[in-house]
Amino acid sequence: MTGLGRRTKIGKKIGYWFGVLKATAFSTYKEWAAYRSQMAISIFVGPVFFLIQLFIWRAVYATRTTLNGLTLEQMLTYYGIVAVIGYLTYDSADWDLQWLIRNGSFLTYMLRPVSYCFLAFAQKIGHRLLALWVEIIPVGLLFLFVFKIRLVPAEPGWALFSLGLSFVLVFLTNYCIGITAFWLTKTEGIRRAFLTLRNLSAGMLIPLNFFPAWMQKLLFYLPFQFITYVPTRVFIGHYELAGISLSIPRVVGLQVVATLVMLVVARLLWACGIKRFTGVGA
């Protein structure tokens, strides 16, 4: 096969996969658009949590100007970004997969020429595109005009790239939890435990550099920081954890590595789990 023919074949494959992604995402978008009013209710969750943080941190900063290197404005910006990241990266890949495995309907996906992982990711894209104007933009405007928090990244290019990686990483971690249904059938328990651990270790509840030094060192080597803490610090324009300061390109590079490692883990879990599927449900 000549070089031109090989490039043409690769181009056709890319076009095919892009077409599948586009069609699946658009179909999911239209399906969930019927429930947009229910989605819109969730726009109050992030701001209410932010309001609680606002009262807490204003009291904390009443006698100081900085805390662990963050000013009050930066701290409030941190929680504003955390809220937006939560809306942007949300998915239910774990719940969806375990439900399909439990009732046996996952069998229909095995008969399709496209992997379930790819379809699930395309569905997440469609769902979050709808959330962009139903949830994310309204919440951003609420932060701007009500709380006077301007969510403007220090380095827009790196911030968008980091958010994209967080988007993928959340999907992969949830997907891995869903895969455990091949062994456990019901994953509610491990799902709740994982979400609690993730929210705490990712910096969603409190910035990771507020933890004791020994715990920061542990969290530095765990993948959870790349879900929320790293994108938030990239957005602010400065990264520090466990006494280690990294440039934005370097920490985003580590985020890329973490995402690739999670992809490998997901593929290995899938290869082991799919052998246990009987197709009869549970």
Kindly report, residue by residue over 80-120, the tens digit of the pLDDT: 999 999 999 998 999 999 999 888 889 888 888 889 999 99
Query: If you search the block for the tokens 């395309």, which residue do you land on?
Result: 122
Kindly report, residue by residue over 145-166, the tens digit of the pLDDT: 988 888 889 999 999 999 999 9
Backbone angles phi, psi at 180, to 5 degrees: -60, -15
Kindly report, residue by residue over 130-149, the tens digit of the pLDDT: 999 999 999 999 999 988 88
The answer on pLDDT for 209 being more than 50 is yes
CA 225 → CA 21, 139, 192, distances in Å?
28, 23, 18
CA 66 → CA 30, 61, 74, 204, 247, distances in Å?
46, 7, 9, 20, 21
Kindly report, residue by residue over 10-55, the tens digit of the pLDDT: 888 888 889 999 999 999 999 998 888 877 788 888 888 899 999 9
The Cβ-side half-sphere exposure at 201, using a 13 Å CA radius, reads 16
Q: Quote the pLDDT of residue 5.
A: 66
Record the pTM: 0.92
Backbone angles phi, psi at 246, to 5 degrees: -125, 150
Q: Quote the pLDDT of residue 211.
A: 94
Q: Quote the pLDDT of residue 188.
A: 86
Q: Quote the pLDDT of residue 282.
A: 46
The vertex-249 CA angle with 246 and 253, nearest 5°, equals 95
